[in-house]
Amino acid sequence: MRRTALLVSAALLTGLLPWATARAADDPAPVPVDRFEGEVPFAAQPAEGIFTWGGDTDDPPALELAARADAPEGAKVLGGSYDISGYGGFTHDFAATEPGHDWSAHRGIRFWWDGQDNGRKVAFEIKDGGAHGEASELWTTSFTDDFTGWKQIELPFADFTYRTDYQPVGGIDHVLGLDRMWGYAVTLPTGVKGRFAMDDVELYGKADQTLRASVSTGAAVYPVEEGGTAKVGVTVTTTGARPLDEPVTVTYTTAGGTAGPGSDYTPVSGALTFPAGTASGTSRTVRVPTLRDKAAEPAETVPLKLTVTGAKAPAETPQVVIDAHGLPYLNAGTPVKKRVADLLGRMSLAEKAGQMTQAERGALTDQGDIAGYALGSLLSGGGSTPTPNTPDAWAKMIDGFQLRAQATRFQIPLIYGVDAVHGHNNLVGATIMPHNVGLGATRDPRLAERTGAVTAAEVRATGIPWDFAPCLCVSRDERWGRSYESFGEDPALVESMETVVQGLQGRADGRDLNRGDKVLATAKHFVGDGGTEYGSSTTGTYTIDQGVTKVTRQQLEAVHLAPFASAVDRGVGTVMPSYSSLDVIGDGQGPVKMHARADMINGVLKGRMGFDGFVISDWNAIDQLPGDYAAHVRTSVNAGLDMMMVPYTYKDFTSTLVDEVRAGRISERRIDDAVSRILTQKFRLGLFEHPYADTRGAAAIGSPAHRAVAREAAAESQVLLKNSGGLLPLRKGRKVYVAGSNADDIGNQTGGWTVTWQGGSGKTTTGTTILDGMREAGGDVTYSKDASAPTGGYDAGVVVVGETPYAEGVGDVGNGHRLTLSAADQAAVDKVCAAMKCVVLIVSGRPQLIGDRLGRIDALVASWLPGTEGAGVADVLYGRRPFTGQLPVTWPRSEAQLPINVGDASYDPQYPYGWGLTTLTPVPRGGAATLRALALAATVAERTGADRAGRELVTRARLIVQHQAGDRMTAAVAKPFADADHLLLTGHYGKAVQKLTEAYRAA
């Protein structure tokens, strides 16, 4: 139908319907968005189209383009039916392959709606900025269906607000620009069956300059030393950077606040005028002089109230803050203990409660809440990143938060935390290390310390002083979705790798924490999270994560508590309790959530171990405690938690905590202890003197030097389980056929906790895949992911298989995950290994069951999750470095064996704990007599404290035994072999060789 006919139809309706809106004389002509005559198909991105969505399979509505005689425009309308229990609706996205649309010349968007008079609200969203319709900001408003028949709904753009509950990309600029629009979405009512019809979506009216022009200040807070002059920049900007159409006036006056006019500052008032034609980005300056006196004082505020005509006013009133001065806690030369005592004595209960509160940065209702609630900490959960996700954007974001904290009385800086569990893994382009299970395979504490140092340097360079790492769990069941976060199944191995704490923090006394390349570390998860029983979890669909650890007191001490005792000795700054429950056999308590176990947190950790840092809860973990919310707060604080990670409920937590103290159910002494611990670490970190990001180290993020450390770690983490005929290392001249799902996938290679919480397949960050590394090594490589390319004429095949990313309980076996290879990976292994000599690399967070194919595989490598530097894997494949890795966990024959661990009475694995063949190093010659001699020498080394010599002697014996055992692994060989590695780690070198001799005789 031609547009002239459409206009006739609209004109007719205008005459018939009293509520139809007439066009103003100076308004531009309406611009159609949807006529629903079939010009826009039912389709999804990247094409332009209309599509439905919903919370489950029943929630998306049914849509059709239906012919109706009473259609307000044309012949057809968009109609449909719905019955939504969760949420559902439909979207019109513009084509992602073409530029976004410019709606900035119009007042709003309107459409015809066939009212059902059901009294329900219908949400209408528009999509602004970003890359395309599914990666844009969502702005929302609504209308009420309280009428019958057709009605034209007008929604001025001024009525739309930014969605704070959900954003597909976490927000772009929080500004409704209107010049890069990607479509709209309609959310239909829930809980009622219904039908709807809609027609003629169009843009209408003349744009209001207040939508296209806005006034902003350079910051919301302007700290100034007493006696100085604050300079508040006032800037006018327009959408599309066009000059102002109409003048803008900004009147200003200083009024209110805690500072005294005439005594603390000189009052100012006046007006700034930006005439029509003023260029976008033009700034003026308002100066607020402060006055000096001789008194020591906390910070005082001077609000600068702005009234704007002709443009959108700033979202909040800027505040000049006269810095706190002359108070003892501000003196950097005073001992930390005295600084803490002085500051604590000045604080109110509400301010103390704020220090004990940690909020998710994306969940702040308003950034002013940082000062309003005196918040002590913010965090970025997994995937909670600034846009763009760059080092500079991180630093600017966090500096902005720190600036807000300067508006509090005592200007206590925030401590910002992230889960940098294998490098600065939230940041695209950062150096990503192997996950802890791979580091455990290196058996190289010095290398672990270096990886921690690289992580600390990259994290601190973006303004973040606190890392929720390392995980010191002892993983006892590889069905656990967090098992790759553990260094291994043996507490002695975990303890040996805790050098990473020094890499993160520096020296144990905390004197290095104020350096620009060190961060506060977190020992987690206290205690026993690696020992939860399969099937004991009650969290959603999890099968083992957050479940119950049932142990004797001796098992608790020897296995799970030991790593935390050594971490405390290393000076770790914070400790995070586990989501899981602890059931100590014989103590009469039964399973108790760790966040409620005062006997373990107050009694063991703080009391017996002497931990002097602070305890931070896990994400929303107190909500899992029994009772009402007041009970959650009371129980956890009294159990010894000092700071609560309450991402979305920071307001409820602070008010409830204050109420509980005033009611006498939490003592003020307990509050003072918690806040003292928090302030101590803030002083040690130098945050009071330097709250803002020191970005001098940002140039080293992802640098060749940092990636070299990650590459070395990736190489040392590779465990050679089988090498029949000496297939590895590969010779560069060999023609190699490469296949498998994980050969060329940086996302799979880095695993969970990479850029997002769960991680993701594909090119998620910057790095070198294993295939890239093989090519860079000079290999003659042909790649076919699914092994569909012809397999003839090759000297060897390399099949890289394994898992896709996951994190926490989402990755639990039985929760959509298995320990067996996918069908596609199995097919690739079968095809390649049937056609040529083959190497199978398993890229995974835990052992994979591959025994049924082991006979057809010539060489088998446990690659774990090697991080961004796949060249490290290629280094050992092509012999640039030797294979030296050893299993940090037992490799089972079947899932029925799980849990299976070193020290078990019954122990018959596919490969034992500690197993790991080597290359480029000749196997020492000798048999039983040689082993006896090695045992004697190792015993002498042990007695004389010659640890290096003792370890070397045990390694020689291990290589002899591995050569003797070959592929003939039996329980009689495996058990003493695994026991020997535990004895080596505990310094019992002579006994370790004796166990290896036992394994040799059984081989």
Q: Both tokens of residue 226?
A: 């007493």
- Maximal C-alpha separation, the chain: 109
Please tell me the distance from the alpha carbon of residue 873 to that of residue 841, in angstroms, as a whole number: 10
Confirm if 544 and 480 have CB atoms less than 8 A apart.
yes
According to DSSP, the β-strands at 76-83 and 137-145 are: unpaired
**Which stretches does DSSP call E strand in 347-462?**
357-360, 377-380, 415-418
Strand (E) or helix (H) holding 448:
helix 445-460
Contacts of 839 (CB under 8 A, 6+ apart): 727, 728, 730, 796, 797, 798, 799, 857, 858, 859, 860, 861, 877
138 strand-pairing partners: 127
Confirm if 77 and 93 have CB atoms less than 8 A apart.
no
**Which stretches does DSSP call E strand in 794-869?**
796-802, 838-843, 859-864
Please tell me the distance from the alpha carbon of residue 55 to that of residue 187, in angstroms, as a whole number: 11
Strand (E) or helix (H) holding 932:
helix 928-944
Provide φ and ψ at 416, rounded to 5°. -95, 135
- The active-site residue out of 618, 744, 745, 942 is 618
Query: Terminus-to-terminus CA distance in the chain, angstroms?
Result: 86
Confirm if 513 and 520 have CB atoms less than 8 A apart.
yes
According to DSSP, the β-strands at 161-162 and 137-145 are: antiparallel
Nearest Cα neighbor of 608 from 547, 546, 561, 545 is: 561
Confirm if 807 and 840 have CB atoms less than 8 A apart.
no
Please tell me the distance from the alpha carbon of residue 463 to that of residue 384, in angstroms, as a whole number: 15
Provide φ and ψ at 124, rounded to 5°. -125, 125
Q: Is 628 a catalytic residue?
A: no
- The active-site residue out of 808, 858, 875, 979 is 808
Confirm if 365 and 373 have CB atoms less than 8 A apart.
no
Q: Which residue in the block uniquely carries the two structure tokens 């999804």?
A: 44
Please tell me the distance from the alpha carbon of residue 490 to that of residue 494, in angstroms, as a whole number: 7
DSSP 59: -
Residue 155 three-state SS: strand
Q: Both tokens of residue 512?
A: 């290095």
Please tell me the distance from the alpha carbon of residue 938 to that of residue 954, in angstroms, as a whole number: 7
Q: Both tokens of residue 875?
A: 């280094």
Q: Both tokens of residue 318?
A: 């800027």
Nearest Cα neighbor of 444 from 492, 486, 491, 499 is: 499
Q: Both tokens of residue 999?
A: 């394994």
Contacts of 489 (CB under 8 A, 6+ apart): 474, 475, 476, 530, 888, 889, 890, 901, 902, 913
DSSP 605: I
Q: Which residue in the block uniquely carries the two structure tokens 């949400």?
A: 123
Please tell me the distance from the alpha carbon of residue 424 to that of residue 457, in angstroms, as a whole number: 9
Q: Is 618 a catalytic residue?
A: yes
Residue 689 three-state SS: coil
**Active centre residues (catalytic):** 618, 808
